[in-house]
Chain A
């Protein structure tokens, strides 16, 4: 049976109420060129086996990370995820993609989110973390909106080291609520440049460390200057594994940390779903976006977990909620929490050190190739090089040789002038053979 809830008479009645002559009239804002004039050109239906065979053939055209020497980062990182993570997240006490709207029924989910918040707070050093957001970029945008509410100022300064996808997400959401953004031009060692752009109308400054070019920056001086001007410092972290080794954002004076948690527990998955981490100072609790899980006791005095401070949220405060774009990424947060629990504090440090060592060894090896200039001065597991020819072409040629050799910056940034810049990451998953293959392939491609 086909499910057709409306008949023509229903439609006519609805159109009459809103004063439209036809359904087509509802689409007049869509430019004619984008209208569909006939049926979509698709083959007729096929049997399940045929479809499977066809899709499998298409999928085989991909070069998957597991079959290549893989050096891609720029916001999404390949790390080892223990098999136990996948096993544990599928337990029925946990398996849910969302925090339930009758939350207290799901004590297992709530306890995990509570532990997750504790982990995020300890990782970033901040007093307070929420139960996660969509991803790092929306977390950054939420930070900007929160800063505008707190300061009642309407301008955000975005560092030239901010990942361009994050910049675009912030710009999209900020302009919709009348917040101006000033995005500084891309620069490898860019974070301190924000200092020249802070004014009396600045609500916040968004910086990133390690930034999109891999540069790690001590933000302490920047934090002092930003706060002296009455603005908030929002620190973006796209590679959360770096927090196992680098100074925490809180130690450097961050007011808000907006991070991508994918590196811990979440596979690359063609770009999502990922998990946004959001942490801030205690005093901003009531302006923080997103769900918050709290510990309490039940009527009999037993420990239990609740969602708390929900009056900030959209199902109660509607358009005045602290966020109307947020959700939490329950399943990814669960995976994050389990992976981090398995690693522990020492394990995280150890993995972080391996990342650092692999990336620095790779840098030394690549530097020895004629025509390769390393641009990034201080880094964790990712750095940017300048090549003697367009990076997009080099990356294609490397892929032919079974090497996924990084992300050309021109792929992320629309403006010209960066065609020869290549962002390269190395993690604990890269073997010495991977590195040797990369060095040999790049040497050949540039010869």
Chain B
């Protein structure tokens, strides 16, 4: 699992696909999530571009693509159960399943230790 400075995580499945979600830290900072707005399948998103919105009782935050990607699907569970983003942000509550266009971009992201260090600087 690799992390971006925008607090998204991406988990490479080794077959050219990956899951993307938001970190424990981001979920904690957002507060109670009430709605997740996810993109349609097939949408191509560049690294750093916003592709969805996580809305909590106090804020609505964009989700940014940690690498270049193409959306395979949004997590269908989240429409009825957005609270899962608070409960299990780094496990079950993935936001989108994607195709990775350029796997080398993953290398540039932080591993967990580096991300923990990064959080320490905030």
Please, which residues of chain A bring their CB within 8 A of the CB of B35? 286
A197 in the interface (beta carbon within 8 A): no
Cross-interface CB contact of A317 among B37, B56, B60, cutoff 8 Å = B60
Q: In this assembly, does B6 line the interface, its C-beta being within 8 Å of a C-beta of chain A?
A: no
- Name the residue among A286, A311, A312, A320 with the largest chain B CB count within 10 angstroms: A311
Q: Check if A4 is an interface residue, CB within 8 A of chain B.
A: no
Complexed CA–CA distance, A60 and B60 (Å): 54
A176: chain B residues within 8 A (beta carbon): none
A300-317 residues at the B interface, CB under 8 angstroms: 311-312, 316-317
CB-based contact B37/A286 at 8 Å? yes
CB-CB nearest in chain A for B53: A286
Is residue B55 contacting chain A, with contact meaning CB distance below 8 A? Answer: yes
Chain A residue with Cβ nearest B56: A311
Interface residues of A in 306-360 (CB under 8 A from B): 311-312, 316-317, 320
Chain A residues with CB below 8 A from B60, complex form: 311-312, 316-317, 320
Please name all residues of chain B whose beta carbon is closer than 8 Å to the beta carbon of A316 when the two chains form the complex. Answer: 58-60
State the CA gap A175–B7 with chains docked (Å): 34
| Chain A interface extent, by class | under 10
Closest chain B residue, CB of each to CB of A322: B60
Shortest beta-carbon distance from A380 to chain B in Å: 39
**A190-216 interface (Cβ within 8 A of B):** none
CA A316 – CA B58 in complex, angstroms?
8
- B residues less than 8 Å from A317 (CB atoms): 59-60
Closest to A317 in B: B60
By DSSP majority rule, is chain B's interface helix, strand, loop, or mixed?
strand
Residue B62, interface by CB 8 Å: yes
| Binary A-proximity of B28-53 (CB < 8 A = 1, otherwise 0) | 00000001010000000000000001
Main secondary structure of the interface of A (DSSP, over half): helix
- Name the distance in Å between A324's Cβ and chain B's nearest Cβ: 15
Cα separation A286 to B35 with both chains bound (whole Å): 10
Please, how many angstroms separate the alpha-carbon atoms of A357 and B87 in the complex? 63
Complex alpha-carbon distance, A320 and B37, angstroms:
14
CA distance A312 to B59 in the complex (A): 9
**Cβ contacts B57-82/A at 8 Å (1 or 0 each):** 01110100000000000000000000
CA distance A124 to B59 in the complex (A): 31
Hey, which chain A residues are within 8 Å of B53, CB to CB?
286
- Name the A residues within 8 Å of B62 (CB-CB): 320
Chain A residues lying within 8 Å of B56, measured Cβ to Cβ, are: 311
Residues of A within 8 A of B55 (CB): 286, 311
Write the nearest CB–CB distance from A287 to chain B, whole angstroms: 9
Considering the chains assembled together, what is the distance between the CA atoms of A312 and B55 in angstroms? 9
CA distance A401 to B71 in the complex (A): 69
A424 CA to B93 CA in the complex, in Å?
A: 61
Q: Which residues in B have their C-beta under 8 angstroms from that of A286?
A: 35, 37, 53, 55
Cα A193 to Cα B99 in complex, Å, equals 42
CA distance in complex: A389, B35 (Å): 61
Interface 1/0s, chain A 281-309, versus B by CB < 8 A?
00000100000000000000000000000
CB closest residue in chain A, given B43: A152
Compute how far the CA of A320 lies from the CA of B63 in the bound complex, rounded to whole angstroms. 13
CA separation between A317 and B50, bound complex, in Å? Answer: 14
Give the distance in Å from the alpha carbon of A316 to the alpha carbon of B55 in the complex.
11
Determine the distance from Cα of A169 to Cα of B11 in the docked complex, in whole angstroms.
47
A317 to B56, CA, bound (A): 12
**A286 to B62 alpha-carbon distance, docked (Å):** 14
* Residues in B neighbouring A312, C-beta threshold 8 A: 60
| A148: min CB distance to chain B, Å | 15
Q: What is the CA–CA distance of A311 and B82 in the complex, to the nearest angstrom?
A: 16
- Cα A320 to Cα B56 with chains together (Å): 15
In the assembled complex, the Cα of A286 lies from the Cα of B55 at a distance in Å of 10
Q: Is the CB of A311 within 8 A of B59?
A: yes
User: Which B residue sits closest to A152, measured CB to CB?
Assistant: B43
> Which has the most chain A C-beta neighbours within 10 Å: B53, B55, B59, B60?
B60
Q: Look across to chain A and name the residue whose beta carbon is closest to the beta carbon of B55.
A: A311
| Alpha-carbon gap, A286 to B38, bound state (A) | 12
B48 smallest CB distance to A (angstroms)? 15
The CA-CA distance from A166 to B107 in the complex, in Å, is 52
Please name the residue on chain A nearest to B57 by beta carbon: A311
Which residues of chain A are within 8 angstroms of B37 by Cβ–Cβ distance? 286
Query: In the complex, A320→B59 CA distance in Å?
Result: 11
> What's the Cα separation between A404 and B1 when bound, in Å?
74
The complex places the Cα of A316 from the Cα of B62 at a distance, in Å, of 13
Give bound CA distance, A320 to B35, whole Å: 17
Closest partner residue, chain B, to A285 (CB atom): B35
Chain B residues near A320 (CB-CB < 8 A): 60, 62
Closest residue to A320 on the B side, CB-wise? B62
CA distance A31 to B35 in the complex (A): 50
A-B pairs, top 4 by smallest CB distance, nearest first, are: A311-B60, A311-B55, A317-B60, A311-B59
Question: Could you pull out 17 A-B pairs where Cβ atoms are within 8 angstroms?
Answer: A286-B35, A286-B37, A286-B53, A286-B55, A311-B55, A311-B56, A311-B58, A311-B59, A311-B60, A312-B60, A316-B58, A316-B59, A316-B60, A317-B59, A317-B60, A320-B60, A320-B62
Q: Which residues of B contact A (CB under 8 A)?
A: 35, 37, 53, 55-56, 58-60, 62
A residues whose Cβ falls under 8 Å from a Cβ of B: 286, 311-312, 316-317, 320
